[in-house]
Structure 1
Amino acid sequence: MMADPTPRPEIWRPHVTVACVVTDAGRYLMVEEEVAGRLVCNQPAGHLEDGETLAAAAVRETLEETGWTVELQHLIGVQQWRSSEHGEAVIRFSFAARAVEHDAGRPLDTGIRRALWMTRDEIAGLGERLRSPLVLTSIDAWLAGQRLPLSSLSWVRGGSRE
């Protein structure tokens, strides 16, 4: 059978990202990072890598950006947003996590200036310095008690191609 020579339209693919809301005594773990020449604040967050589970990506990104090893507790929710930074669609999986151990000597990802703990009011006071509105969206969802079991996510290995 010959291959179909008909050009196919490009398939739309949003950026898939993960983020962690890590809390300790009313403070939240944040990162200060340089993005496109601006100094902004964000939760530990980043892109899902090929072959990686969402949960593993969230733990990895938090360690790489803050030096903190975390234990995921819940899925807070999934947010859909069009980035004002690059104009593309983002699907973000936000997790609640507990800080387990800190490696203060671990080098942080490129662009990350420092990790810091801030209250919700301090975070809200950052205004335009927040990397995205998803930071407060996920904190507020967590504060409102939104918690989904981690078992609501699954990884299906293998399968057939369609």
Structure 2
Amino acid sequence: MERIDVVSVLILDEEQKRVLVVQNEELWSLPGGKREEAESLREAAIRETKEETGYDVEVERVVQITERMSSDHVVFFTFRGRIVGGKMATEDPEIQRIEWKNLNEAERLMPWYGDLLTLWNGPSVYRYEQGGGHTIRELTTEEDFQSAFPLIRQLRNDLSREKYAELLHAMRKEGYRLFGLERDGEWMALAGAGIRHNFYNGRHLFVYDLVTDSHQRSKGYGAMLLTHLEAWARANGCEKVELTSGVQRKDAHRFYERKMGYNRTGWVFRKEL
């Protein structure tokens, strides 16, 4: 199955509540297209937007990742972006029109993006389109963090709720991010990670915590969450993902090596992005 990365850029005029969109044949979409070989996701987003709209853009964070499994494995990355130069024009012969659409019209023309204003302002969202029912998102509220504690405790069983809150507050100041896979309002899996730098890995994502609910294992939730982390790391300029796993976790070691393609050195597992 071939892996294909597709990028798009959400450009919002916040004052007039308008979104920049393009028409390709009968389909309206955000500007974007397929990532080329040896091209980063950010480079692809900037290039495609310039070719389709004529505008020079600065891309910021990823606001949505959608993974689709069919005849190919396609991952769609939507960046938040802003115009920094250029003028409206197109170099792409397939683009028929470039327009600013108000939010309601844009959402009607592109329902797969959902609420565009929420997408613009909110944390990044992951969607998996085969089977449905799963959402991966970053935890950002106190309610989120409190609801995650019982699952975190399955991994760190000596952790009290008070110590969890104390450490989480300190860790978040140091760049710790917590992501979760949610189904029907319940956390199926959680992963805590942060971007770090060192001489041997460069800029990389280090995964501190990765846990799937004990009643939900062997359903692919851990793999989906780790795939999301890898995509998030790639979109944020990381060169590798690294994690450690205790010597007693033999099943986890096989999962990282065989299914997820990580290279192992002792208890350390590393993957190039």
Please give the secondary structure, in 2, of the residue aligned with 1:122: helix
Q: Displacement of 1:13 after TM fit?
A: 1.6
Other-structure match for 1:98: 82
RMSD: 2.9
1:69-148 to structure 2, matched below 5 A, reads 69-81=56-68, 88-104=72-88, 106-126=89-109, 130=110, 133=112, 136-137=113-114, 139=116, 141-143=118-120, 145-147=122-124
Q: How many residues align?
A: 132
Contact 1:44 1:62 in 2 (8 A): yes
Task: Name which structure has the greater RCO, CA cutoff 8 Å, separation 6+.
Answer: 1
Q: Is the 8 A contact 2:2 2:72 kept in 1?
A: no
Amino acid at match of 1:142: L
Confirm or deny: 8 A CA contact 2:80 2:120 kept in the other structure.
no
- Of all paired residues, the percent bearing the same amino acid is 27
Q: Which residue of 2 aligns with 1:50?
A: 37
CA distance in 2 between counterparts of 1:96 and 1:138 reads 14
Moved over 4 A (4+): none
Structure 1 residue aligned with 2:239: 156
The CA distance in 2 between the partners of 1:40 and 1:81, in whole Å, is 19
Q: Contact 2:11–2:83 at 8 Å: present in 1 too?
A: yes
Q: Specify the code of the residue in structure 1 equivalent to 2:101.
A: M
Q: CA deviation at 1:23?
A: 0.7
1:23 to 1, 4, 12: 12
SS in 1 for 2:63: strand
Assess, with a 3 A threshold, how the Cα gap between structure 1 residues 66 and 107 changes in structure 2: closer, same or farther: closer
1:100-123: CA deviations, max 9, x gaps? 12324x443121012111122002
Structure 1, gaps ≥5 residues long: 1-11
SS of the aligned residue for 1:110 comes to coil
Structure with larger Rg = 2
- C-alpha separation in 1, matches of 2:72 and 2:115: 20
Q: 1:81 to 1:144 in 2, by over 3 A?
A: farther
Alignment TM-score, normalising by the size of structure 2: 0.43
